[in-house]
Amino acid sequence: MFLTRLEIQGFKTFAKRTQLSFLPPSPLHPPSGRGEIRFPITAIVGPNGSGKSNLADAIRWVLGEQSLKLLRGKKSEDVIFSGSEGKGRAGFAEVALTFNNEDHAMPIDYTQVTIVRRLYRDGTSEYLLNEGQVRLADIHLLLAQANVGQRSYSVIGQGMIDHILVSSPEERKAFFDDATGVKPYQIKRHEAMLKLERTHENLKDVEMLLREIEPRLRSLKRQASRLEQRGEIETELHRLEADYYGAQWWELVGQMKQSKERFEQAVQKIKDERNELTRLEKETERVEKAESGEDTELVAMQETYRATQKKREEIRSHVFETEKAIEMARVKAQSNWAPLPLLQIIAEVDEVVKVAKVVKGLKTVEEIQTIIDDLLVKSTGLRKKLERPNPEDIKPDPALVKKLKDFRDQEGALKQELEKMETAIDVHLGKEKTARTELIETQRTLREKQTHIHLLENQSNTLQIELARFEEREHALIREMDEFMKERAVKVRTEEPPLAKGRSGGVLEHTYEEIQRARYKLELIGGIDPEIMKEYGDTKERHEFLDGQFQDLTKALADTEKIIEELDEQIEKQSKAVFAKINKEFDRYFKLLFGGGSCQLMKLTREEVDEAEKVDEVEKGEEDKPLSKHKDPIVGVDIQATPPGKKLKALNLLSGGERALTSIALISAIMAVNPAPFVVLDEVDAALDESNTIRFAAILDELSRSSQFIIITHNRATMEKADVLYGVTMGEEGVSNLLSVHLEELTQNGTARR
C-alpha cells in the first residue's frame, strides 16, 4: 500500500484546490535479484512562511488528528482559509488522501481507497471513505490495521523530531505501541474494555432490578400458591356443603311433610270429636228437660264445671304458647350457633397450655390433682364451645321456664277442681240414679268425650310445636345456606341428590367437621385478590426475562474477559518481539549516525515511572485510560543514549544536534523493523550539520525500500536523494501555490515539468 494523491482545498493557506501526486514504487537499480522495490522519495521545498508545513498538517488532519496544538491552531476553524486582502475566506476546509490498496493492507474490498475529511465554518464536520460517510473510530481502526497512525512516526511535524525524547514515559509508550504494530489490537482492546464496562453497568442494573423484584416475586408466589390452595379447598368445601346441607334440607323436608300430615290428621280427629261432643251436649240437655224438669243444684254445678273447664282450656293455651316459645328459642339458639373465632380458640388453648406447664413445677399429688381437674374443666368447656349443641342441651330463658311452671301449676289446680266437681256431680246424680239413669250415662259419656278431646288437643299441640320447630329449623337452615352457599343454595334446595336419603347423623356430623376444618383453613389463608395471579404471572415473566438477561450478560462478560486476555497475550507477545528488534536497530543506527557510542530502550512499570519520571504528566488519550482490572503492567518506555567519548545517559544533557540524531536513529530503527506505508518528515534534518545530513540522506535511501517518504526540507543533501521535488510559494494574496519537478526528467532531458 502506498500514497498516490493528496488533494487540498480551503485548508490553511491552500485556498485553491491543490493536488500532489506521488510516484508509484519501482524496481531497484541495479536489480537485487530478489524482486525488491524502491519507493520514490518526494521532497517539498520552499522559503520560510510559504506554507509547506501546512501540507504535513493537512495529512495529519485528514488522518483524524484532534489536537489543535499539533495542528498549530487554537480553535477548529483555524484550519479553514481565513482570507487575505486579495481573496475572501473559504467556507470549508477539505483534504483527501488517496491510497493504492492493491495489496489489501487496509482490510477493505477496494484497490483504491480515498479518505476525505471536511470541516465547515459552522462546526459541522464529516469523514468520507470512498464517498461514504463513516465514523472517526472507523478511520482510526482502518489506518491502524494498515500500520498508519496520525500521532506516531507516520507524520513527524516541524519541531517534533526530538519530541519522542522529551516526552514522558507514558507518551513514549503510546508511540512505541504504534511502532510495534500493536495499535490495532489496542483499539480492539479499548473497544472490548468499553464493552466490558458497559456490560458491568448493565449487569449491575439487572442485579438491582432482580433484587427489587425477587422479594415481591416470593411474596406473590406464596400468595399465588395459597390462592391455588384456596381454590382447591373452596372446591372441596362446596362439595361438602352441598352434601351436608342437601342431606339436612331434604331430611327436614321429609320430616316436615310427615309432621304436617300427622298434625292435619289430629286436627281432623279433634274436629270430629268436637262435633260428637256438641251432639252429646244437646242430647244431655234434652234428657235433662225430658226427665224431671230443672234441678237447680245440678244446673249450677254443671255451669260451674263448664266455666272451670273453659278456664282450664285458656290455661292450657298459655302452656302451649309458652312451650312453643321455649322450643323456638332452643331451635334458634342451635341455628345461630357458630364456632369460636380463631383468635379466641388460640387464647383458650394458650390458657390450657399455661395451666399444663404449671404441673411440671408441682411435687405433691394433691396439687397435681387440682391442676388436672382444672385442665379437665377448661378442656371440656373448650370442647363444648367448639361443638354444635343439641336443642335439649340449650338452657331456655328462666323467665319462660317460671311462666310455664306457673301455668302448669294453675292447670293442675284446675284439673283437681274439675275432678272434685265431677265427683260431686256423680254423687248428686247417684242419689237419683233410678230415676235418672239415662241422664247419668249421658253426663258420663259427655265427660269422657271431653277428656278424650283434651288428650287429642294435647297431641295436636305437641305436633304443632314439632311442626313449628321444623319450620323454624327450615328458616334457620335457609339463612345458613344463603350465608355460606350464596346462589348455590337454590340448586341444593331444588334438586334432590341421591345421597340426601338415608344419611346417618354420624356421617353428617363427620361432614360438618370437615366443613369446619375447610372453613378454618380458608380463614388461615385469608382473603386474596384474584388480581394477584395476573400480577404474579407478569412479575414472574419479568423476572425470567431479567434472569435471562443476567445470564446473557454474565456470559458476555466472560467472553469479553477472554477476548481481552487473548488480546493482552497477543499484544505482549508481538510487543516483546518487535521491541527487541527495534532496540537492536536503534543501537545500529545510533552508532552509524554518531560513529560509535551506545543506546538502549527500556520498558518501565508504574513503580519505575513514578520513581524516575521528572516531567509533568500531560493529558492522556481516551484509549489510554484504564477501564478495569485488565491493565498493562508496562506503562512507559525510557531511552538511554551515550554518544562516543561521553558517559552521560540522561537525554536532557544532550545537545540539540545530538537529540536530533538520537531521534532520527530511533525513527530509522522503527521504520526498519516495522515500516509504515508512508512517512511524512517535516524539517527533521534542520538541526543537522552537513556531514550528518549526508548520513541521514543515506539512511533515507536505505529505508525507501520499505516505506514511501515525503520530506519537507531545506537541506541540499536530502533534496539530492528525492525523486520528485514540489516547490511551495506564496503570492501576494497570501495563498500557497505549488510547483513540481521530476528530477529523473531533469537529469535525462535537462528540463522539468511544472
Task: Assess whether the previous peptide bond of 30 is cis (omega < 30° from 0).
Answer: yes
Provide mean pLDDT across the span 73-91. 86
**Does residue 753 register a pLDDT over 50?**
no
Residue ranges and CATH numbers for the domains of the chain are 1-154+713-754 (3.40.50.300), 225-337+388-525 (no CATH)
**Model pLDDT, residue 431:** 62
Cell 535537462, residue located: 750
Position with higher pLDDT, 551 vs 468: 551
Q: In Å, how far from its chain's centre is CA 605?
A: 44
CA–CA dist 378, 375 (Å, integer)? 5
Cα–Cα distance, 410 to 740 (Å, whole number): 152
Look at residue 32 in the predicted model and tell me its pLDDT.
Answer: 54
| Residue located via cell numbers 485488565 | 630
- Residues 112-138 have pLDDT tens digits of 999 999 999 988 999 999 999 999 888
Q: Please report the pLDDT score of residue 342 as a whole number.
A: 57
Confidence band for 291, pLDDT divided at 50, 70 and 90: low
Compute the mean pLDDT over every residue in the chain, rounded to the nearest whole number: 79
Which DSSP state fits 11?
Answer: B
Q: What is the CA radius of gyration of the chain?
A: 61
> What confidence tens digit (pLDDT) does each residue in 295-319 have?
677 677 777 877 887 887 788 778 7
Model-level pTM greater than 0.85?
A: no
Q: How far apart, in whole angstroms, are the C-alpha atoms of residue 153 and residue 664? A: 11
Task: Look at 203-207, 319-323, 354-358, 535-539 and tell me which has the smallest mean pLDDT.
Answer: 354-358
Phi, psi of 125 (to 5 degrees): -135, 160
pLDDT value of residue 196: 85
Instruction: Please list the residues that pair with 133 across neighbouring strands.
Output: 128
Q: Report the pLDDT value the prediction gives residue 316, as an integer from 0 to 100.
A: 77
CA gap 99, 24 in Å, rounded? 11
pLDDT digits (tens, 9 = 90+) for 538-585: 888 888 888 888 888 888 888 888 888 888 888 888 888 888 898 898
Q: Are 685 and 668 in contact (CB under 8 A)?
A: no
d(CA 365, CA 369): 6
pLDDT tier at 743, thresholds 50, 70, 90: low
Question: Which pLDDT value is given to residue 58?
Answer: 92
For 547, residues 6+ apart whose C-beta sits below 8 A from its C-beta are 210
Q: What is the pLDDT of residue 435?
A: 47
Distance CA 168, CA 175 (A): 11
pLDDT score at 149:
60
The pLDDT assigned to 626 comes to 39
Sign of the alpha-carbon dihedral angle for 662, 668, 673, 677: positive
State residue 530's pLDDT score: 65
46-66 exposure pattern, b = at least 16 Cβ within 10 A, e = fewer: beeebbbbbbbbbbbbbbbbe
Residue at grid coordinates 272451670: 308
Identify whether the C-beta of residue 15 lies closer than 8 Å to the C-beta of residue 79: no
With 90 as the cut, is the pLDDT of residue 95 above it?
yes
pLDDT by residue (tens digit) across 614-644? 444 433 444 444 344 556 667 788 888 888 8
> pLDDT tens-digit profile of 576-609?
888 889 889 889 989 888 888 888 888 888 777 7
